[in-house]
Amino acid sequence: MNPRAAVLLVLGTALLLAPVAAPPFWVTLLNYIGLYSIVSLGLVLLTGVAGQTSFGQAAFVGLGAYTTAYLSLNHPAISPWVNLPIGVALTSVVALFLGFITLRMKGHYLPLATIAWGISLYYIFGNLEFLGGHTGLAGIPALSFFGIEMRSERHFYYLIWTIVLASLWATRNLLDSRPGRAVRALKGALEMAEAFGVDAGRLKIVIFVYAALLACISGWLYAHLQRFVNPTPFGPIQGIEYLFMAVVGGAGSVWGAVVGATVITLLKQVLQDWLPRLLGRDGNFEVVVFGILMILLLQRTRDGVWPWLARAVPQRKPLPVSKATTLPKRSRGNEGVLLVVERARKQFGGLVAVSDLSFELYRGEILGLIGPNGAGKSTMFNLISGALPLTSGTIAFEGRSTGNRQPFQIARLGICRTFQHVKLIPAMSVLDNVALGAYLRGSSGVTRAALRLDRREEAMTLAEAAIQIERVGLNEHLHAAVGSLSLGKQRIVEIARALAADPCLLLLDEPAAGLRYLEKQELAALLRSLREEGMTILLVEHDMDFVMGLTDRLVVMDFGEMLAQGLPGEIQKNPVVLEAYLGGV
C-alpha cells in the first residue's frame, strides 16, 4: 500500500469510529468542527482561491438556520428536509442580490461591504418579532431519518461529516475543472481570464452563491442540532471568525478549511479548559491568548497550517495525459480581410496614445506592429483585444464591430492574445495554465464540474493543452508549477495558452523579449508553421532581426500615428522610419 493511501485510511477509520470510541464531549466538538468546516470551505473558494474577501458568511448561516427554524415551528407539517431546499432557494436569492451589488466592488471595498450587510442581517434577525427577536426561537424539532429521530449527537455526527466530505469532494472537483481554472485566475489575473473568454463578473457571483449555499446548509444543520437559534452566532464576530479559520488553516486548499476549523475550535476549547486552571482565576484570558497565538502562528507561517501539514502527506503523482481525443477545431477562412482598423483613436486625458490609426489585417499573414518606445503599440493592441475602450473610430473583426464588446466577448469572436508582462497563475501547473486557454472551447459549468460530470470534456481539454505544450517544446515541464520556469519559458507558455484557444487571430505582445537566440529561432519557426495552417498573427516586437525575418508586412507607429506601412524590405529603407528610430541620419 502506498503511504498516501495509508494516511487516508487511518484518517478515514478515525473519522468513522470517532463517535463510537470518543466521549460525548468530543463528539460535540467534532460536530461543531464539521459545521464550521462547511462554512470555511466556501471561504477557501471565495477568498483563498478567488480573492474575494467576505466577512458576511455568518449571515448566510443565519439565513439557513432561521428559515428552517421558522418553518418547523410555524408549519410543522412540512418536513425539515423540505426546509433545506427552501432555505437554499432563499439564500440563493439573497446571495444573488448581495453578490450582484457587492462583487462589483474592488479591492478593500468588498470586505467592508460584506461586514456592512453582515451586520444588517444580524440586526434584522434580532429585531424581527416573528423570528423571536434577540431571545430567538426555541423548540425546533429534531431531524428524523427514515423514521429514526436524530436526537443524539452521535447520529448527527454522521450526517454532518457526510455533508462535510461531500462538500470537500465537490469543491475539489470544482477547482480541478474548466470553471475552477477560471476561478483561480480571478485573483491577480483577472484581465488575462477575461482575455480568454471568462465572464469574470458572472463567475464571481456564481462562486459567491456557492459559498453562501454551503453556509446555508451549515446553518440548517446547526438549527436542528442545537434545536434553538438566536442571532448571536450569526453576527459580525462569527463572520470574522469563519474567515479566520480559512486563513489559519490555509486558504489556498480545500483541506485548509477543515484544518482551520479544527485548529481554532480545539485551541479555543483547550484555552478555555486550561487557562483558568493555570492562572487560578476566571476571566477572559482565553481570548487574549487566542489572539496572541494567532498572530504568532501567522508570523511563523503566512499561508496557514495546511501547506505545512501537506508536506507530511505524500502527494499524489499527476496522472499522465492521454492525447487520444481532443477538442474540435474551428474552421478558418483563408482569403480576404480579417480585421479592419479604421481611424482608431485613444486618448488618456490630454494624451493621444493612438491617433486615428487605420490599417488592415489579411487572413493568414503575419503583420508586425513596430515603433519606438511610447509609440502606442501596446495601446493599439489593447484596443483590438478590448482591454481598453476606443475613444473614437472602429475596429471590425470578420465584418463585426468589436467597439462596444467586453474583452471576454471579443475573445469569443476568435481573437486571442499574449501579454507584454507575463500573466500566468504561478502556483498552477503549465498544463492547467495552458488548459485555461481552451476555456471557450468547453462548456461545463460549476454544477457539472462539482459533480464530476465534465470528465469527458476535461480529458479532451487537457489533451489539447498537452498537444500545444508539446508543440511549443515545453513537454518536460508539463506538470511543473509555472512560476518555477524562466521568464522566457513563461512567454512560451503564454503562446501555448493562446494556441489552446484555437484562435483565428493571434495577438502577440513582445513574444521574443527575454528569449535566447536559439529560442527565438524556434519561436520564429513555430509562428511560420502556424501561418501555414492559416492562422493570422499580429506581432508587436522590438527585436528587428526577428521581425524582419518573420513578418509579411509591417505597420510602423510613432507618437500614436502611422509612420509607414509596407513590406519589411521597404520599411528598412524608408527614410522617415530611419529618422524616427535613429534620430536622423
Partner 1 sequence: MTQTSKSKTRSVAAIGEPPSKPAARTFLFMTFSIAALLAQDGVTNGAIYALLALALVLVFTVTRVIFIPSGEFVTYGTLTLAALQLGKPPGTVGLLAGLALIAGTMECYTAARQRDWRRFPRRLALYLVLPLAIAVVVYAVAPLSLAFPIQILLTLVIVTALGPLLYRVAYQPLAEASVLVLLIVSVAAHFSLLGLGLWFFGAEGSRTPPFTDATFHVGDITVSGQSVLVLLSSLILIGALYLFFERTLYGKALRATAINRVGARLVGISPSLAGSLTFVLAALLGAFSGVLIGPITTIYYDSGFLISLKGFVGAIIGGLSSYPLAAAGSVLVGLLESFSSFWASAFKEVIVFTLIIPVLLWRSLTTHHHEEEE
* Interface contacts to partner 1, rule CB under 8 A: 28-29, 32, 35-36, 47, 51, 53, 101-102, 104-109, 111-113, 115-117, 119-120, 122-124, 126-127, 134, 187-188, 190-191, 222, 231-233, 235-238, 240-241, 243-244, 247-248, 251, 265, 268-269, 272, 283-292, 294-295, 298-299, 302
CA 37 to CA 44: how far, in whole Å?
10
The DSSP code sequence of 15-84 is: HHHHHHHS-HHHHHHHHHHHHHHHHHHHHIIIIIIT----S-HHHHHHHHHHHHHHHHHH-TTS-HHHHH
Q: Which one, 191 or 522, has the nearer CB to partner 1?
A: 191
Question: Which residue blocks in 254-318 are alpha helix, DSSP H?
Answer: 254-279, 285-300, 306-310
Q: Which one, 188 or 328, has the nearer CB to partner 1?
A: 188
What contacts 91, CB < 8 A, 6 or more positions away? Answer: 60, 63, 64, 67, 212, 213, 215, 216
Beta bridge pairs of residue 566: 554
Q: Which one, 60 or 244, has the nearer CB to partner 1?
A: 244
Backbone conformation region of residue 383, classed left if phi is above 0, alpha if psi is from -120 to 50, else beta: alpha
Q: Which one, 295 or 337, has the nearer CB to partner 1?
A: 295
Phi and psi angles of residue 37, each rounded to the nearest 5 degrees, phi first = -60, -40
Under 8 Å between Cβ of 73 and 140: yes
What is the smallest separation between the CB atom of 315 and partner 1, expressed in angstroms?
24
What is the smallest separation between the CB atom of 350 and partner 1, expressed in angstroms?
17
What is the smallest separation between the CB atom of 413 and partner 1, expressed in angstroms?
24
CA 540 to CA 269: how far, in whole Å?
61
What is the smallest separation between the CB atom of 179 and partner 1, expressed in angstroms?
21
Q: Which amino acid is at 212?
A: A
Q: Which one, 190 or 465, has the nearer CB to partner 1?
A: 190
SS3 at position 444: coil
Q: Which one, 320 or 349, has the nearer CB to partner 1?
A: 349
What is the smallest separation between the CB atom of 483 and partner 1, expressed in angstroms?
14
What is the smallest separation between the CB atom of 34 and partner 1, expressed in angstroms?
12
CA 560 to CA 487: how far, in whole Å?
29
Q: Which one, 370 or 436, has the nearer CB to partner 1?
A: 436
Q: Which one, 248 or 557, has the nearer CB to partner 1?
A: 248
What is the smallest separation between the CB atom of 454 and partner 1, expressed in angstroms?
29
Q: Which amino acid is at 199?
A: D
The C-alpha cell of 245 is what? 479559520
CA distances from 497 to 175, 217, 418 (A): 19, 38, 8
What is the smallest separation between the CB atom of 29 and partner 1, expressed in angstroms?
8
* DSSP conformational letter for 322: P
Q: Which one, 107 or 139, has the nearer CB to partner 1?
A: 107
